[in-house]
Amino acid sequence: MAKSVAIKKKRAAGDDAQSQDAIFRGTSGGDATLNDATFKDKKSVRGTPNAALPAFILGEELANLADKDPRIAVLTADLANANRTNDFKRRHPDRFFNLGIAEKNMMTIAAGMASCGHVTYAATFASFCAILGAEQIKTDCAYPAMPVRLIGHHSGMSMGFYGTSHHALEDLAITRTIADLTVVCATDANHLRAILRASVDHPGAMYIRLGRGRDPEVYPEVPKSFRIGKAATLRKGDDMTIICCGSVVRASLDAADILAKRGISVRVIDMHTIKPLDAGAVRKAARETGAILTVEEHNVTGGLGTAVAEVLVEEDRIPFQRHGVPDEFVPVGPPAALYAHYKLNAEGIAKKAQTFLAKAGKH
């Protein structure tokens, strides 16, 4: 049964957006004894290098690719600042198109351009991408196999206090059910660079899910081994596997560190490609570690956890649990507070994993 909690948040210094003292009422889970450090939002850290901010490299990396490839064109819907496609516009003004606040139009136009030989990148908030343009993605992009790359940035609940209209916790569930659509989640800036480079000649349409552009670093350099559809094992472990993606990969790795100190050896897999899912990596993890916890910044219904469950249900039974946002609308709050509330920060994931293992009789 869900319990209501009231949490008082204190000022995170130097961060205007987060500076208001906020009180939010959660509707499930939650921990009434969170301290200030828990709420320190990564956004508020001064001097974070731009390279660690995925959305901030989006325009730059696309412009680099476009230097060598005349097919590349970029579209956005009045969010050129938020997603930094402005950096592309500066270098390739003839191949940049701002459609204003008309996302469906943007997606279909991107498909029309693609039919004439272009590889098009259409970027908007994730909250106004898959759920708003699902039919355009299906009918105009995926079905005719157009090389359109739909980029949903500020996904999950990373828009925090902007509220449900600006949260995207359904996008993986929606895109995953569209045939011939490739679905990839960026983990950090370098990872996004790898995804974009691999995307140029990838056949058919893609949905690329980005965090808020401030996701903490996981890959210190652009991963050379990156392949769409091939999961990356980031940490070895024998007692269980955390399969995660996107913004929660860093937190999952940190959780594995915490658990290691408690004598629990955790494998961590970055399942960046949700579709086609690397089912082989899931089976291998099940066989070798005997317990799987999925972690995602998404509704637990229909996303990564469900995709992994669809693989496991056809295998020998092992302890398995999905961890993410429960099937509810998220309360208003700063992102870091929401991650703590839903146990999607390192400490929360560690707690969740330990409880899971205890229940499974493994620890």
Catalytic site positions: 103
Distant-in-sequence, close-in-space partners of 128: CB < 8 Å, separation ≥ 6:
77, 103
Give the span between the Cα atoms of 335 and 31, in whole angstroms: 15
> Between 119 and 304, whose beta carbon lies closer to another protein?
119
* The two structure tokens encoding residue 35: 């301290």
Strand partners, 273: 184
Return the structure tokens found at 122: 């259409």
189 and 154 in contact (C-beta within 8 Å)? no
**Residues in contact with another protein, shown as a per-residue x/- string from 178 to 217 under the rule CB under 8 A:** ----------------------------------------
- Interface with another protein by CB under 8 A: which range of 16-24, 142-150, 182-190, 335-343? 142-150
Distance CA 133, CA 103 (A): 7
Candidate list 115, 233, 265, 301; residue touching another protein; CB under 8 A: 115
Among 95, 167, 298, 323, binds another protein (CB under 8 A): 95
Size of the site for another protein (CB under 8 A): 27
Q: Name which position in 60, 61, 87, 140 contacts another protein (CB under 8 A).
A: 140
Binding status of residue 141 toward another protein by CB under 8 A: no
CA distances from 183 to 221, 228, 269, 287 (A): 22, 9, 17, 26
Q: Using the structure block, give the residue that is written with the tokens 């994993």.
A: 353
Judged by beta carbon, residue 32 or residue 145, the one nearer another protein is 145
Neighbours of 239 (CB within 10 A): 18
Q: Are strands 292-299 and 320-325 parallel, antiparallel or unpaired?
A: parallel
Residue 108 interacts with another protein (CB under 8 A): yes or no: yes
Which residues between 279 and 298 bind another protein (CB under 8 A)?
none
Among 53, 80, 111, 132, binds another protein (CB under 8 A): 111
Residue from the set 45, 102, 260, 318 that interacts with another protein by CB under 8 A: 102
- Decide: is 118 part of the binding site for another protein (CB under 8 A): yes
58 burial (CB, 10 Å; 0-12 / 13-18 / 19+) is: buried
Does 99 sit near another protein (CB under 8 A)?
Answer: yes
Q: How many Cα atoms within 13 Å fall on the side-chain side of residue 335?
A: 22
* Residue in 20, 67, 100, 329 binding another protein, rule: CB under 8 A: 100
Rg (CA), the chain: 20
Using an 8 Å Cβ cutoff, are 320 and 291 in contact? yes
Pick the closer one to another protein by CB: 102 or 309. Answer: 102
Q: Does 117 bind another protein (CB under 8 A)?
A: yes
Is 244 a binding residue for another protein by CB under 8 A? The answer is no
Q: For binding to another protein (CB under 8 A), which residues are involved? A: 73, 94-95, 97, 99-100, 102, 104-105, 108-118, 135-136, 139-140, 143-145
